[in-house]
Chain A
Amino acid sequence: MAVIATKDTRLVVQGITGREGTFHALRNRDYGTNVVAGVTPGRAGQNVEGIPVFDSVADAVAKAGANTSLVIVPPRFAAEAILEAADAGIEQIICITEGIPAHDMLEVYHYVRPRGIRLLGPNCPGALSPGIANIGIIPAQVFKPGPIGLVSRSGTLTYQIGGELAAKGLGNSTIIGIGGDPVIGTSFIDALDLFQADDDTEFIVMVGEIGGSDEEAAAAVIAERITKPVVAYIAGFEAPVGKTMGHAGAIISGTAGTAAAKKEALEARGVPVGTNPTEAARIVAELVAGR
Chain B
Amino acid sequence: MDLYEHQGKELFAKAGIPVAAGRVAFTVAEARAAAEALGGRVVVKSQVLTGGRGKAGGVKVVSGPDEAAAAAEAILGLDINGHITRRLWIEEAVAIDREYYASVTFDRAAKMPLMMLTTMGGMDVEAVARDHPDRLARLHVDPALGFRGFHAVQLMSAAGIPVDERKAVGAMLAQIYGVFVAEDAMLVEVNPLVILDDGTLLAADSKMTIDDNALFRHADSSAMRDVAAADPQEQAAHEADLAYVKLDGDVGILGNGAGLVMSTVDVVAQAGGRPANFLDVGGGASAEKIATALGIVLSDEKVKSVLFNIFGGITRCDEVAKGLLGALETTAVRAPIVVRLDGTNDVEGRELLERAARPEITVEKTMLEAAATAVRLAREAR
> Which residues of A does B touch, CB under 8 Å?
20, 24, 75-76, 96, 98-104, 106-107, 109-110, 125, 137-139, 141-142, 152-160, 163, 180, 182-183, 207, 209-214, 217, 233, 235-240, 243-250, 254, 259, 275-278
Contacts and interface: CB of A to CB of B under 8 A. Distances in A.
A159 B263 CA distance: 12
25 contacts: A103-B143, A137-B283, A139-B311, A152-B259, A154-B262, A155-B257, A155-B260, A156-B255, A157-B263, A159-B311, A159-B343, A180-B258, A183-B108, A213-B108, A217-B109, A235-B259, A238-B262, A239-B278, A245-B245, A245-B280, A246-B259, A246-B280, A248-B211, A276-B367, A277-B263
Contacts, number: 181
Contacts of B184: 101-103
A76 B265 contact: no
Contact of A110 (B142, B267, B275): B142
Given A155-B257, A156-B255, A236-B265, 6 more contacts: A101-B184, A104-B214, A153-B259, A239-B262, A246-B278, A278-B367
Contacts of B342: 142, 159-160, 163
Most buried by A among B217, B255, B266: B266
Interface in B125-148: 126, 142-144
Contact of A243 (B106, B245, B283): B245
Contacts of A212: 108-109
B216 A76 contact: yes
A156 B256 contact: yes
A231 to B, nearest CB: 15
Nearest to A259: B266
A207 B259 contact: yes
A212 to B, nearest CB: 5
A9 B283 CA distance: 25
Nearest to A19: B284
B314 A110 contact: no
Contacts of B283: 98, 137, 155
Contacts of A153: 259
A269 to B, nearest CB: 18
Interface residues on B, range: 35 or more
B13 interface: no
Contact of B144 (A75, A107, A183, A236): A107
B165 to A, nearest CB: 30
Contacts of A99: 213
> Would you list the 8 A-B pairs with minimal beta carbon distance, nearest first?
A154-B259, A246-B258, A156-B257, A157-B259, A246-B280, A101-B214, A156-B260, A247-B258
Contact of B214 (A102, A158, A245): A102
B170 interface: no
A159 B316 CA distance: 13
A111 to B, nearest CB: 8
Contacts of B368: 276, 278
Nearest to A212: B108
A206 to B, nearest CB: 12
B343 A102 contact: no
A83 B283 CA distance: 24
B278 A237 contact: no
B34 to A, nearest CB: 30
B313 A139 contact: yes
Contacts of A107: 143-144
Given A137-B314, A248-B213, A98 B181 contact: no
Contacts of A158: 259
Nearest to A275: B270
B213 A246 contact: no
Interface in B105-128: 106, 108-109, 111-113, 126
Contact of A157 (B113, B143, B257): B257
B111 A110 contact: yes
A213 B267 CA distance: 23
A238 B284 contact: no
Interface in B262-317: 262-263, 265-267, 269-270, 275, 278, 280, 282-284, 310-314
Contacts of A101: 184, 211, 213-214, 217
A212 B184 CA distance: 19
B377 interface: no
